[in-house]
A and B are shown apart, each in its own frame.
Chain A
């Protein structure tokens, strides 16, 4: 790791102010991606501003039909939270298959979506559930927030404070895990909103990061059942291909994971 200067912020305002005073700062949430990247010298921020002890970024709130998870909440606390399990159990499940126990004690939802790894789990949940990302400056719809590989709508010095999820009628998430990294080789989040809209998002599949899957949405809108997806054809165009799986394999995984997610959603 290159030299850097470590700061611990005690409030969002302090973190923003520290960012303004640094030349090339990075915010540090749980550090489960940023620190490995810094160790490989792929990132060399002049300053790291630790958000981990900011109280206003911690916690989960369920209010009516909205579940709000503050950005600094660690995966373990999301996975075990009673309101999450009650309102959107698919999110508790997603968190339980994310990383490993030690990662789940450190990693945060805000860190995951700010990084927007094309194989990360949470972007699929946000996109399928039609979540809203709250920052210290504004609210951003998930649709507009994710902008391709490792790229988001966040501006320099902007901090995610929370994510608000509308509570769906039904939701499910299933993924094929990469056995070493435990990222999604392909993961699919399916949701049926309370107004009857069906939204499906896939992660780990597309070269442009998390994406909606309109063909599966249409099939599930007509008939919410795993078998409804049998006849859907997913094109391999634009899908990721690497030593772990071809684009055609991932296209098939989108179908299979969607079917399993619908089965899990009930």
Chain B
């Protein structure tokens, strides 16, 4: 057992876990943050994507200990109170989800994509960049529309800040 200290959605936490614990298990089983999903468990589907120090990583492919000292943001940490994050709002408005299982990972990856590409996003780029996120409903069309929509909204909200 080791104590892992990290910041999760802005809150400092210290959790005692077995060394073999994955970051996703720490989030779901120890902190009850079950918005982060486990899809394939083989590092291919991206349902478990969270942000570590601002970068979208697969929380099923990291030991909790590797995140010691890091700042983690999960799907539960991106809305401002009742106001959805622009990416969440765009997914809702564009019907960017069907069963919803892949959605948390899609949204966390998509926010990272917009941060990296800023205003230079086009459909082809979004499709390429979402390669690490699999939607088993195959609902990609509206997901891509949502990401492009959100890229515009995030640009506007950044400009306003």
Residues of A at the B interface (CB closer than 8 Å) are 1-6, 8, 28, 31-32, 35-36, 38-40, 48, 50, 52, 76, 99-103, 105-106, 180-182
Contact = CB atoms under 8 A, between A and B. Distances in A.
B112 interface: yes
A74 to B, nearest CB: 9
30 contacts: A1-B20, A2-B20, A4-B19, A6-B2, A6-B20, A6-B63, A8-B68, A28-B66, A31-B61, A31-B62, A32-B61, A35-B22, A35-B61, A35-B62, A36-B43, A39-B42, A40-B42, A50-B63, A52-B66, A99-B132, A100-B46, A100-B132, A100-B133, A101-B113, A102-B56, A102-B58, A105-B56, A106-B57, A106-B58, A106-B61
B44 A181 contact: yes
A48 B129 CA distance: 31
Contacts of B133: 100
Interface of B: 2, 18-20, 22, 41-44, 46, 49, 55-58, 60-63, 65-66, 68, 109, 112-113, 129, 131-133
Contacts of A1: 20, 22
A39 B133 CA distance: 20
A50 B4 CA distance: 15
Given A1-B20, A101-B113, A101-B132, A180 B44 contact: yes
Contacts, number: 79
B18 A3 contact: yes
Contacts of A40: 42
A159 to B, nearest CB: 18
A252 to B, nearest CB: 25
Nearest to B134: A180
A104 B46 CA distance: 13
